[in-house]
Amino acid sequence: MFKELFGKRIVALFVLLMMLSVPVIQAQDGPTIRLGWWGNEPRHELYAELSDMYEELTGVTLEREFNAWSPYWELLSTQVAAGNLPDILHMHPTFVNEYAGRGQLLDLTPYVESGQLDLSSFPEGTLDSGKVGDQIFMVALGTSSPGTHYNAQFMEEAGIEFDPFTWTWEDYVEIASQLRETMPEGTWPAADDGSADQALETFMRQQGKDFMDADGIAFDREDLLEYWGMWEDMRANNLIPPPDITQEYANVGHADSMLANGVVAMDILSGNQHKLFQAATDYPLGLAVIPRTLNEDGELQHGDVIGGAYLSCAANTEYVDECIDYINWMVNDEEVAVIYNGEHGPPGNAENAVLIAENMDEADQRMFAMQDYIAPYASLRSQRPEWGTEAGDAYIRFYQELTFGNMTLEEAVDAFFEEIDFISS
Amino acid sequence: MQSTLTARTDQPVKSGRKFTLRQDLTGYIFLLPWLIGFVVFTLGPILASLYLSFTNYDLMTMPEWVGIFNYNRLLTRDARFAQSMSVTFTFVVTSVPLQLIVALGIALVLNRGIRGLPWYRALFYLPSLLGGSVAIAILWRQVFGNDGLLNQILLIFGIEGQSWIGSPDTALSTLIVLRVWQFGSPMVIFLAGLKQVPQSLYEAANIDGANSVQQFFKITLPLITPIFFFNLVLQMISAFQAFTPAYIISDGTGAPADSTLFYSLYIYIQGFRYFRMGYAAAMAWIMLIVIVFFTILNFGLSRFWVFYGDED
């Protein structure tokens, strides 16, 4: 009796296992390649759609590993430690030095030279933006720069007209003061972007300096006194929100943001997010460049930084050909370009950029227009020291000490530089 | 089956020593699955982290021996280390006693034989199951935010609220409240302890004319001190290691202005954000020493207040 039952169970288990393994066997007609990207929910859906297309087209199975921005990089760092990077991964100018420098990324130069990876439609500048030294390590999906997103309705109500491409920091403060008169209590003309690294970086580059370069912090005490001083004045005049409100809105989604909800009228953020903010709000938005600085001769100083999303391959991937094929398809295929629709700003492939420019919605048109205007002035972010992330955090922290009133302007600036001395040791 | 079993037991034991060896071996074989897991996944990493704490290790390149550099930098020059210690101590010293008092209070009420006790017990235990989760930490943001539930309620009483999680003065307090709210698991243990107190003692006290306050302090409290001690040690250790709420509420930064920079969060930031893995390992060992110290201190002090009943 016992034996009989046992035997039956074994057979049943076997049949079950067989059934489970059938779909696995069926799916194995092409290699499985791991693909990693960062993003939010709509972007995950977009990449999922594209990945499904690619699987159907080629029989390759794409194993998808996606995350929000910071968890994506945290996970990547542990995957690097385990020698287990995704075969194809999304890369960013901020991190490419770190990964390429440590030999983790595949040198794409030979494949570009042999034509296997066709980047013939890429402008030279865009192609170069994927280089570390002379070698190509990443290929641009799209590039964009940060800008000032503003609420066009609030501007109109305050009777403000300005040139969104040539305005200066003085204009910015002046416009904020004018907005103050028509905006109700509990809302503010501008978000507190004193802690935003993109705004700081652009400001410092306008002074002929930078936030950081390979050796460390690339600006002086006086520069920071001037910059933080400007934000402190704005806070004193109620032109930007108090720090606890700013803190509360840190890292919320587009729909919950201050800009989308009319809590602030201006905010400095990545340009490719313009359409996401527009989609999240009924207010008509506009997009201006980050305010400029005038030099001694009264000439505009631009200093724009290029950001964006790029594709790289892991140095140790077993599927080089498949990875190259995927990148080819992503950056050159017209159908992909239409679906992808400039998610990360104008595509690297200039022909596709023209193609999608034909039927763009208004938010995208504004972003492309700004990108067009600043293209001659924009350049890649400088290489940062190994402790760049830590220095960036320290910048935000001491700015908070200042805004919460724990330190005076001078104290905060001095403490920041002391902390940099400590971090770099 | 049957016959082999009998055969084995029938065999005479030749020598006592051999028998124990064989018994030991069987024991170890049965232990093996756990033992392998322990050595590979617990002991190994612990020893590796001790080694790494004396190295400079960025996850991507090989660790490089630097002696006591990490410990030296931490203890003498890192201001954030001191800040994270102070945040963590404040958290432990306030949240653990508050949580235990609340747990004991609720347990006393429930112990009075209320109808539907299992329901209440489950209800009060629920926060303990949920409390460490991401969802609750997000809920907390909603409750203590500027437009949050708390401020809405305060508004009814005409009190102008503030952003509780956005301000460095109050952000830590909201995390302490979150911790105290998870009183369920010590409460359940207290309840079990209260049931152990012999009913006859209360009857005798009643006859002697002791009121309920006297009964609580003279009978209940002394007899549940072992339970209290157990809860104290457990909750203290877990409070020292608190991570998730601070990570979620401050988006992994310890903001605003490092006011929620828990020690475990700082370890995480050093290791996975700044890639100072050796430094993070050194921090973990300092944490271990601190926890061991306080646990031993607790055990030492327990002689003076914990009553095990079998004494005198």
Question: pLDDT tens digits, chain A, 425 residues: what are they?
Answer: 445 555 566 656 555 555 555 444 444 567 899 999 998 888 899 999 999 999 988 888 999 999 988 889 888 888 887 888 999 999 988 888 878 877 889 999 999 999 898 988 888 878 888 888 889 999 988 888 899 999 999 999 999 999 999 999 999 999 999 999 999 988 999 999 999 989 999 999 999 999 998 888 999 999 999 999 999 999 999 999 999 888 888 877 888 899 999 999 999 998 888 988 998 999 999 999 999 998 888 888 888 988 888 999 999 898 999 999 999 999 888 888 888 888 888 888 888 888 888 778 888 889 888 988 888 888 888 777 878 888 999 999 999 999 999 999 999 999 999 999 998 87
| Radius of gyration, CA atoms only, chain B | 26
> Would residue B9 count as lying in a domain?
no
Last residue of a domain, one of B23, B38, B65: B65
> Would residue B8 count as lying in a domain?
no
> Would residue B4 count as lying in a domain?
no
B41 lies in the same domain as B185? no
Min distance B190 CA to chain A CA atoms (Å): 38
> Would residue B1 count as lying in a domain?
no
3-state DSSP assignment of residue A164: coil
> Would residue B31 count as lying in a domain?
yes
A102 touches chain B (CB under 8 A): yes
Residues of B in contact with A422 (CB under 8 A): 77-79
B38 lies in the same domain as B131? no
B9 touches chain A (CB under 8 A): no
> Would residue B51 count as lying in a domain?
yes
Q: Which residue of B has its CA nearest to A250?
A: B251
Do the chains contact at A390 and B78, CB–CB below 8 Å? Answer: no
User: Which one, of B155, B88, B272, B216, lies nearest residue A75 by Cα?
Assistant: B272
Last residue of a domain, one of B65, B92, B107: B65
Number of domains in chain B: 2
> Would residue B87 count as lying in a domain?
yes
> Would residue B310 count as lying in a domain?
no
B77 touches chain A (CB under 8 A): yes
User: Got the DSSP string for B115-178?
Assistant: TTHHHHHHHHHHHHHHTTSHHHHHHHHHHHSTTSHHHHHHHHTT-----TTTSTTTHHHHHHHH
The beta-carbon neighbor of A102 closest among B61, B77, B274 is: B61
**By the 8 A CB rule, do A416 and A395 touch?**
yes
B176 lies in the same domain as B289? yes
**Side chain identity, residue B296:** I
B44 lies in the same domain as B101? no
What CATH number should be reported for the domain holding residue B265?
1.10.3720.10
Do the chains contact at A422 and B258, CB–CB below 8 Å? Answer: no
B148 lies in the same domain as B266? yes
* Vertex A261 angle, CA A259 and A266, to 5°: 20
Do the chains contact at B79 and A406, CB–CB below 8 Å? Answer: no
Min distance A277 CA to chain B CA atoms (Å): 21
Residues of A in contact with B62 (CB under 8 A): none
Distance (Å, rounded) from C-alpha A179 to C-alpha A173?
Answer: 10
B47 lies in the same domain as B111? no
Which residues constitute the domain of residue B42?
14-65
